[in-house]
Amino acid sequence: MTKQRQALGLLGERIAARWMRRDGWIFVAHRFRSGHRDIDLVMRRGNEIAFVEVKARRGASFGHPVEAVHYRKRRELGRSARVWVDRHGSSAFSYRFDVVGIQISGQNVRVHHVENAFQLP
């Protein structure tokens, strides 16, 4: 991954975390790693934990960022989330998967937060 792509990813994660904090979410973890997989953000609001995948794009030439979270990525997120729950979870919490798409065009930033974006089988 190039340094430019890494920088864009980090910027997107900061924007997404700020966006969710404005909606009452508390930051729990950033880039939780489980093997070669990671969860971009783990956020908490009350007794709810959101595992958040963030996709940032410059422009729209590759489609909407939310569309990039396909079946394989969802499966990997589910596996990492199970590890997080085993290590840090509690039966007092409910869990969900959110996707935050960030589109950056010059100084314009568009945020698309999809709550409960998918369920695991």
Q: Which domain holds residue 77?
A: 3-118
Q: Is the pTM of this model over 0.85?
A: yes
* pLDDT of 67: 83
Domain count for the chain, please give it: 1
Question: Coil, strand or helix: which one is 108?
Answer: strand
% the chain with pLDDT above 70: 95
Q: What is the pLDDT of residues 1-37, one digit of tens each?
A: 789 989 999 999 999 999 999 999 999 999 999 888 8
| Letter string b/e over residues 69-102, b meaning 16 or more CB atoms within 10 A of that residue's CB | beeeebebbbebbebbeeeeeeeeeeeebbbbbb
Question: Coil, strand or helix: which one is 112?
Answer: strand
**Residue recorded with tokens 């950033």:** 30
CATH code of the domain in which 98 resides: 3.40.1350.10
